[in-house]
Amino acid sequence: MDKTLLEILACPVCKGELLYDQANHELICRFDRLAYPVINDIPVMLETRARRLESEE
């Protein structure tokens, strides 16, 4: 994930900071507990495509 792109992107729900999980190819919003997929280096920033994080994640 390009660092410049990561600095620009924000969670579409809360507009908060996103963290890149390289192992799972996801952008993580800790506040909303959502993980947005990154497919072929393209972030899919749709709430309907995000997965809910489990409590231990």
Q: Residue 15 sits in a domain of what CATH number? A: 2.20.25.10
Task: Supply 43's token pair.
Answer: 């972030």
Query: Is residue 37 assigned to a domain?
Result: yes
The answer to whether position 10 is within a domain reads yes
pLDDT reported for residue 2: 85
Closest alpha carbon to 51 in 40, 42, 32: 32
pLDDT value of position 54: 92
57 domain-assigned: no
Q: How confident is the model at residue 55 (pLDDT cuts 50, 70, 90)?
A: confident
Domain that holds residue 32: 3-52
| 35 inside domain | yes
Asked if residue 47 is part of any domain, the answer here is: yes
Q: Where are the beta strands (DSSP E) in 1-57?
A: 19-21, 26-29, 34-39, 42-43, 51-52
Spatial separation of the C-alpha atoms in residues 4 and 34, rounded to whole Å:
21
How many domains does the chain divide into? 1
Reported as a single tens digit per residue, the pLDDT across 2-28 is 889 999 999 999 999 999 999 999 999
Euclidean distance between CA atoms 11 and 36, whole angstroms: 9
% of residues, the chain, pLDDT over 70? 100
